[in-house]
């Protein structure tokens, strides 16, 4: 065999092997891409299913929270929702409004409040109040007593600020003002 024919034969074998390798790699990559495409479709379907399940769970959670709130308010009807940093109108006896503030972060929270009192009566009053706070289940988690020795004269108003003694590691969600002397 002549050197030219040997080279041509060798070139033909190498070309055939290269084409064969390219076809084999293409088939292998095509199979891998098909497998990945199927996996992607499966994972997309699972993501859609989990998203639907999450929506249903959120809806059920909202309904459960509303039922819990109704249950707590039904069991303890004088509770009011405690909303931090918002002026909450009370308008009962000599308490006009109250503002709660949460100071701190994480586990070291302090619950502070400012209560505005105004005497609507024609006689002086001596504020004697117990401020109670409750968690979302209606369990009492804190208290503060206001026993003013100074009189609040007719038509007079005054603000009072203090911290609530929270004695359980819970977040107050409701409050109640107990007028110990009735007015």
pLDDT tens digits for 41-85?
888 888 888 888 888 888 888 887 777 777 666 666 678 888 999
**The predicted structure's pLDDT at residue 114:** 94
**The predicted structure's pLDDT at residue 76:** 67
Higher pLDDT, 114 or 10: 114
pLDDT tens digits for 127-137?
888 999 988 88
144 three-class SS: strand
Q: Which of 69-83, 102-116, 137-151 is predicted least confidently? A: 69-83
Domain spans of the chain, in order of start:
1-75, 80-179
Write out the CATH class of domain 80-179.
mainly beta
SS3 content of the chain, % helix, strand, coil (to 5): 40, 35, 25
pLDDT cut 90: percent of the chain above it: 11
Q: What integer best gives the mean pLDDT of the chain?
A: 84
Q: How many angstroms separate the CA atoms of 126 and 179, rounded? A: 11
Q: Evaluate if residue 167 carries a pLDDT over 90.
A: no
Q: How many angstroms separate the CA atoms of 125 and 121, rounded? A: 8
**The predicted structure's pLDDT at residue 116:** 92
């Amino acid at each position: 065999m002549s050197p030219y024919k040997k080279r041509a034969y060798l070139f033909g074998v190498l070309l055939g092997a290269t084409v064969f390798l390219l076809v084999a790699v293409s088939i292998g990559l095509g199979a891998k891409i098909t497998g990945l495409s199927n996996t992607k479709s499966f994972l997309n379907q699972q993501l859609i299913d989990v998203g639907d399940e999450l929506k249903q769970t959120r809806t059920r959670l909202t309904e459960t929270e509303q039922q819990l709130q109704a249950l707590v308010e039904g069991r303890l009807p004088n509770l009011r929702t405690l909303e931090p940093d918002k002026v909450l109108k009370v308008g009962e006896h000599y308490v006009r409004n109250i503002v709660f503030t949460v100071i701190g972060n994480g586990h070291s929270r302090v619950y502070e409040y400012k209560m505005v009192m105004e005497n609507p009566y024609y006689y002086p009053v001596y504020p004697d109040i117990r401020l109670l706070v409750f968690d979302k289940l209606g369990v009492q988690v804190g208290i503060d007593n206001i026993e003013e020795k100074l009189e609040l004269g007719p038509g007079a108003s005054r603000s009072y600020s203090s911290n609530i003694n929270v004695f359980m590691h819970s977040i107050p969600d409701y409050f109640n003002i107990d007028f110990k002397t009735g007015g």
